[in-house]
């Protein structure tokens, strides 16, 4: 998926209502694209297997790093997220998922909005 498509997906997942968000997540959970599976895991508490599938399908360094960042984020290990994001941005400075993570922290579907541990 290209960056503009990923930005559009993130916008749909954050802006639209629960019904549309649910339909979008249901459609991307069937993908084998690690980026889409990471997005499903970040935006849906019921997508536990999505991150595992993303890890199995991640073949590039970028995708493996994104799986590690998402895993740390969902585990609320903010120090590890910060370190992994800094490393990731050295090689991939314009990644929409990482930009969303930096701007928003832990997704509201996993924790309370604004919560930090």
pLDDT tens-digit readout, 22-55: 888 888 888 889 988 998 888 886 666 889 999 9
Rounded mean pLDDT, 93-108: 79
CA angle 39, 88, 26 (to 5 degrees): 5
pLDDT at 66 over 60: yes
Query: Sorting pLDDT into bands at 50, 70 and 90, what band is 5?
Result: confident
Rounded mean pLDDT, 88-100: 89
Q: Which residues, including other chains, have CB under 8 Å from residue 14's CB and lie 6 or more apart?
A: 43, 100
- DSSP-assigned states of every residue in 7-36: HHHHHHHHHS-HHHHHHHHHHHTT---HHH
Angstrom distance (rounded) from CA 114 to CA 56:
31
pLDDT at 108 over 50: no
Rounded mean pLDDT, 52-66: 94
State the average pLDDT for the chain. 82
Locate 8 and state its tokens: 């559009």
**Annotated domain spans of the chain:** 3-104
């Amino acid at each position: 998926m290209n960056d503009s498509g990923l930005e559009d997906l993130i916008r749909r997942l954050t802006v639209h209502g629960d019904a549309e968000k649910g339909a979008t997540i249901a459609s991307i959970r069937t993908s084998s694209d690690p980026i889409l599976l990471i997005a499903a895991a970040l935006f849906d508490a019921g997508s536990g297997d999505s991150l595992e599938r993303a890890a199995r399908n991640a073949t590039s360094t970028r995708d493996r790093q994104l799986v590690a960042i998402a895993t740390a984020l969902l585990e609320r290990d903010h120090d590890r997220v910060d370190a992994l994001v800094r490393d990731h941005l050295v090689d991939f400075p314009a990644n929409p998922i990482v930009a969303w993570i930096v701007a928003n922290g832990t997704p509201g579907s996993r924790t309370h909005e604004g919560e930090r541990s």
